């Protein structure tokens, strides 16, 4: 989390059966919602 803006810039979601998702978010300085999101998926065996 960016301390100055209170934006979440990276988040990881781990599922029981399907692996994990990493979300990287970029914000326009004037917006509350992210204007760009990158999603990465990894299968864990």
- pTM beyond 0.85: no
The answer to the question of residue 22 being in a domain is yes
Domain count across the chain: 1
Which residue is associated with the tokens 């326009």? Answer: 28
What span, in angstroms and rounded, lies between the C-alpha atoms of 7 and 20? 21
The answer to the question of residue 1 being in a domain is no
Residues composing the chain: 45
Q: What tens digit of pLDDT does each residue of 1-44 get? A: 565 667 889 999 998 887 899 999 999 877 888 999 999 998 87
Range of the domain at 38: 10-42
């Amino acid at each position: 989390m960016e301390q100055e803006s209170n934006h979440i810039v990276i988040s990881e979601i781990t599922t029981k059966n399907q692996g994990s998702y990493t979300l990287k978010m970029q914000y326009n300085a004037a917006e509350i919602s992210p204007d760009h999101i990158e999603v990465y998926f990894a299968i864990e065996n």
